[in-house]
């Protein structure tokens, strides 16, 4: 749409620096599941920065079967989990620190715990000032991304971003009518919404 224009790379560099500072503050989150027996495994979590960990396990229906938030900030968490009470099937262990989440899928089979690859997810960075919307996002899983602007339920603008790893976008919204707009960044699996009040 003509009223939404991309902005310069210099402005986007400023947005990316702010986003990089958030990334550095979050640290480097690592999640491992180390099977000990057919029913037990050690969950080992580490982060380069001291943090509070939010830990959850969900089944293939998305139902949370375990949740814990650590009491004190630390760089490491280790615990032996007994999965004997869980049904056979696919599960996902998720650990969140600040705005960064690392997921590790695992499968409980006959006399076996099969562990999948680690996947990192970071919340996108949105900022709106002086009529300019800035967006930065690290697409760790290299999923196809799309960006949509809505005025209530009406689509105002749409852009296919693709599967690039580092996303830095800027939009001049100063010519839009006054009101609240929803900006939705969508991956293959998840959507992030940011509301903008254009005055």
97, 119, 141: which is the final residue of a domain? 119
pTM above 0.85, yes or no: no
Q: Using CA atoms, how far apart are residues 12 and 161, in angstroms rounded to an integer?
A: 15
Same domain, 156 and 175: yes
Looking at the structure, do residues 31 and 115 belong to the same domain, yes or no? yes
Within the chain, strands assigned E span 5-6, 30-35, 40-51, 54-59, 64-69, 74-82, 89-97, 100-109, 112-115, 119-122, 125-129, 132-138, 145-151, 154-162, 166-172, 179-186, 191-198
Is the same domain home to 18 and 72?
Answer: no
114 and 51, same structural domain? yes
Tens of pLDDT along 30-72?
Answer: 999 999 998 899 999 999 888 899 999 999 999 999 999 998 8
Same domain, 20 and 47: no
> Does 108 share its domain with 44?
yes
Count of domains forming the chain: 2
d(CA 34, CA 24): 27
Q: What is the pLDDT of residues 63-113, one digit of tens each?
A: 999 999 998 888 999 999 999 989 999 999 999 988 788 999 999 988 789
Tell me the per-residue pLDDT of 156-169, one tens digit each, with 9 for 90 and over. Answer: 999 999 998 889 99
Q: What is the pLDDT of residue 190?
A: 85
∠ CA 161-157-137, rounded to 5° = 35
For residues 11 and 110, the answer to whether their CB atoms sit within 8 Å is no
- Same-domain check for residues 107 and 190: no
For residue range 9-20, list pLDDT tens digits in order: 444 444 444 444
Distance of CA 97 to the CA centre of its chain: 11
Please report, to the nearest 10 degrees, the dihedral formed by the alpha carbons of residues 2, 188, 190, 79 taken in order: -150
Same domain, 172 and 132: yes
Domain CATH for 146: 2.60.40.3080
| Range of the structural domain that residue 154 is part of | 5-24+122-198
CATH number of the structural domain spanning residue 104 = 2.60.40.1930
Residue written as tokens 């979590």? Answer: 45
Share above pLDDT 70 across residues of the chain, in percent, rounded to a whole number: 86
Structure tokens at 148: 């949509």
- Both 111 and 161 in one domain: the answer is no
Residue-wise pLDDT tens digits, 108-153: 988 789 999 998 888 899 999 999 999 999 888 888 999 999 998 8
**73: β partners:** none
Tokens for 122, please give them.
């970071």
Do 96 and 113 belong to one domain? yes
Are residues 37 and 115 both part of a single domain? yes
**Which of 59, 91, 119 delimits the end of a domain?**
119
Residues in the chain: 199
For the chain, the first-to-last Cα distance in angstroms comes to 19
Output the pLDDT for position 175.
87
Q: Determine phi and psi for 189, rounding to 5 degrees.
A: -115, -20
């Amino acid at each position: 749409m003509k009223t939404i224009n991309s902005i310069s790379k210099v402005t986007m560099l400023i947005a990316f620096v702010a986003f990089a500072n958030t990334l550095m503050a979050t640290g480097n989150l690592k999640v491992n599941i180390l099977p000990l027996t057919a029913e037990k495994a050690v969950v080992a979590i580490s982060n380069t920065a001291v943090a509070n960990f939010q830990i959850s396990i969900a089944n293939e229906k998305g139902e949370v079967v375990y949740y814990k938030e650590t009491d004190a900030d630390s760089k490491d968490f280790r615990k032996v989990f007994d999965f004997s009470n869980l049904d056979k099937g696919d599960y996902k262990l998720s650990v969140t620190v600040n705005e960064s989440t690392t997921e590790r899928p695992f499968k409980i089979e006959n006399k076996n715990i099969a562990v999948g690859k680690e996947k990192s997810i970071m919340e996108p960075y949105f900022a709106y000032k002086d009529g300019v919307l800035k967006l930065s996002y690290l697409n760790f899983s290299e999923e196809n991304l799309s960006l949509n602007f809505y005025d209530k339920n009406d689509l105002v603008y749409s852009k296919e971003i693709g599967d690039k790893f580092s996303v830095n976008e800027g939009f001049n919204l100063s010519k839009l009518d006054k009101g609240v707009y929803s900006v939705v960044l969508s991956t293959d699996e998840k959507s992030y919404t940011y509301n903008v009040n254009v005055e």
